[in-house]
Amino acid sequence: MEMKYGEAESRQFVTNLGLVTSSGKWGHDIMTAEWTHHISYSPAMVAVNVHDYDATADNIIESGEFGVSLASESQTELVDIAGHSSGKKTDKVAALEELGFRFYKAARIGAYMVEGAVLNLECRLVKYEKVGDHVMFIGEVLEARADESEGPAVFRSGTGIYKVGDKIGHDKGPEREKKVGDALSRHAKP
């Protein structure tokens, strides 16, 4: 089976927007990665999924490292530009700087990091593997810097970029807690 971008099934996924930075064969580069995931607390690890033909894939494999900057709500233009051109044909970092976006030199890796991102992670490549139509790169976080002055931009596949909305929950309170506890007790496995 195939799930096509923009169709009803793929539109139900919601993700962060990772701005993956790298340096290598194609120089300093940045790309937008819809599939950016935190996969381990200890050690801290993240996974990003990139097409094997992207400049970012070549740079990560060559250098053995990459940066992940989770885009803030005010970085939608940066996300759009970084995601719609190839680092093989365009110096996206220089173009973005010309447009007023700022980067800083990472402390532990050779790539740049995005100023104003809600989270910046400097990663050492641990493993990579072709998974379907992308390559999954797994990195161990060497350095992390969070900025909570703004919320993260959220992407709903095929529909656009959003702010995180209102917190939702479920019924709480002693009566509900007792009802849930009783149901779980009645269905406990021996």
| Rg over CA atoms, the chain | 19
pLDDT band for position 55 (50/70/90)?
A: very high
* pLDDT > 80? residue 188: yes
Which pLDDT belongs to residue 170?
A: 81
Task: Please check the confidence at residue 98 and state whether its pLDDT lies above 90.
Answer: yes
Domains and CATH numbers, the chain: 10-186 (2.30.110.10)
CA-based nearest residue to 134, from 18, 28, 45: 18
Q: What is the pLDDT of residue 82?
A: 94
Q: What one-character-per-residue DSSP string does 25-76 give?
A: TTEEEEEEES-EEEEETTTTEEEEEE-TTSHHHHHHHHHSEEEEEEPBGGGH
- pTM, full prediction: 0.90
Does 142 score more than 80 pLDDT? yes
Q: Which residues contact 176 (CB under 8 A, 6 or more apart)?
A: 170
Q: What is the pLDDT of residues 3-40, one digit of tens each?
A: 887 788 888 888 899 999 999 999 999 999 988 999 99
Nearest to 15 by CA among 120, 161, 133: 161
At residue 14, the pLDDT reads 86
- pLDDT for 6: 79
Strand 45-50 relative to strand 112-114, pairing? unpaired
Asked whether 67 and 20 are in contact (CB, 8 A), the reply is: yes
Does residue 87 surpass a pLDDT of 80? Answer: yes
